[in-house]
């Protein structure tokens, strides 16, 4: 049974409840002072607490999508990473599976759209990573057959799972609903993790001697998607959205590459790349690279990028609230960069908060991207 399986969660809850009942039932028999009785009481209490912890952990993981599998949980994930592809003639993007949009009115793509699971290999960086691509119903309709659509990259936090963007944060379903309500135009969504070299958190940095993550997102990814799907080729066709680590990446990529990403939205983002056990040494002593990863430094020392930014936070529950207000004020002093915000009265660093911000974010993004 998988880590995110309902059966796994149900089994853990039933086992915890059963052990609790068993503890209550057996407690009178273990009330003596002998070492066996004491050991039995200790064992029952520890076992009950352990199963309660496991049940709560499984439920939290299902709600927030921290880990996708047992291998992911124990750091044994092997199916992703930085690879070198030596196969002649292989394209940079390959569709490996298709599925219906959760909650769609029909399984027919012309009516309900489609989710395509793809594998992407960067032509310049050789980074290989999976992604999910949402194609709106209009993409398959005859009257739109010559239409090029705007596209937005959607990034998870760290470690995150790309599938959670589909079935936990509901990006495709939300986009379809907003189009139906006339609040946004049809848009292609490319949903993935910023962690393209797991388990390392690269913070979307071109690491000296390591994964060239920024180049992958700024060049290889748009090239691969545009070569396979009908995405607008003119400036202003691409945007990028992310939460937490993905939010930092989205803001940075839009600021560093405004000719690629006309808009970047950071939900619960931070504004400088951390250095910790998950990142390792990102900069290898390169001070210029370290400075470029600091969005505060970029706003002060680099030319203002011609791009639109959206940031989000909550007055209560988010640790980035004060920094977000300062970032807004700092961007407002520039001449070219536009800044918008979503500030909730309360909300934590979690899926529930981001689900409240995603509709407004998609609507905002749609208004800033073009297509033909």
CA distance 238 to 307: 11
Confidence at residue 64, expressed as pLDDT on a 0 to 100 scale: 63
How many angstroms separate the most distant Cα atoms in the chain?
82
Q: Rounded to the nearest 5°, which phi and psi values hold at 335?
A: -95, -30
CB 161 within 8 A of CB 65: yes
What residue has token string 């912890």?
53
Residue 205: both structure tokens together: 């940095």
Contacts of residue 178, defined as CB under 8 A and 6 or more positions apart, other chains included, come to: 184, 359, 362, 363, 366
CA distance 251 to 204: 11
CA distance 50 to 348: 27
pTM of the model: 0.78
Confidence at residue 86, expressed as pLDDT on a 0 to 100 scale: 37
Confidence at residue 105, expressed as pLDDT on a 0 to 100 scale: 85
Q: Of the candidates 288, 326, 335, which has an alpha carbon nearest to the alpha carbon of residue 307?
A: 335
CA–CA–CA angle 258, 248, 130 (5° rounding): 85
**pLDDT tens digits, the chain, 372 residues: what are they?**
777 778 888 888 998 888 888 888 877 777 777 777 778 788 888 888 888 888 888 888 776 666 666 666 666 554 444 443 434 445 799 999 999 999 888 889 999 999 999 999 999 999 999 999 999 999 999 999 999 999 999 999 998 899 999 999 999 999 999 999 999 999 999 999 999 988 899 999 999 999 999 999 999 999 999 999 999 888 899 999 999 999 999 999 999 999 999 999 999 999 999 999 999 999 999 999 999 999 999 999 999 999 999 999 999 999 999 999 999 999 999 989 999 999 999 999 999 999 999 999 999 999 999 855
């Amino acid at each position: 049974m998988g880590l995110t399986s309902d059966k796994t969660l149900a089994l853990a809850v039933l086992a915890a409840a059963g052990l609790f009942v068993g503890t209550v039932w057996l407690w009178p028999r273990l009330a003596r002072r002998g070492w066996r009785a004491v050991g039995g009481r200790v064992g029952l209490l520890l076992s009950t607490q352990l199963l309660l912890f496991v049940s709560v952990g499984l439920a939290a993981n299902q709600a927030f999508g921290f880990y996708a599998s047992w291998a992911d949980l124990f750091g044994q994930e092997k199916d992703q990473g930085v690879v070198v592809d030596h196969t002649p003639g292989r394209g940079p993007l390959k569709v490996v599976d298709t599925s219906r949009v959760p909650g769609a009115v029909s399984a027919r793509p012309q009516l309900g759209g489609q989710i395509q699971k793809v594998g992407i290999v960067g032509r310049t960086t050789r980074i290989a990573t999976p992604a999910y691509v949402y194609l709106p119903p209009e993409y398959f309709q005859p009257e739109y057959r010559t239409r090029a659509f705007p596209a937005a990259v959607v990034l998870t936090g760290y470690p995150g799972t790309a599938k959670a963007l589909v079935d936990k944060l509901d990006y495709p379903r939300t986009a379809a609903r907003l189009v139906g309500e006339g609040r946004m135009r049809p848009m292609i969504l490319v949903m993935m993790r910023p962690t393209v070299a797991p388990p390392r958190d690269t913070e979307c940095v071109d690491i000296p001697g390591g994964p060239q993550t920024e180049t992958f997102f700024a060049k290889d990814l748009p090239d691969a998607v545009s070569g396979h799907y009908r995405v607008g080729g003119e400036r202003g066709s691409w945007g990028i959205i992310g939460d937490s680590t993905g939010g930092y990446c989205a803001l940075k990529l839009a600021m560093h590459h405004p000719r690629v990403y006309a808009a970047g939205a950071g939900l619960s983002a931070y504004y400088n790349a951390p250095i910790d056990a998950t990142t390792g040494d990102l900069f290898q002593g390169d001070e210029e690279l370290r400075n470029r990863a600091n969005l505060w430094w970029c706003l002060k020392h680099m030319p203002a990028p011609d791009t639109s930014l959206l940031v989000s936070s909550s007055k209560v529950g988010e640790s980035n609230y004060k920094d977000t207000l300062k970032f807004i004020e700092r961007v407002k002093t520039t001449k070219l960069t536009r800044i918008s915000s979503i500030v909730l009265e309360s909300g934590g660093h979690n899926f529930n908060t981001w689900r409240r911000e995603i509709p407004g974010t998609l609507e905002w993004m749609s208004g800033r991207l073009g297509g033909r």
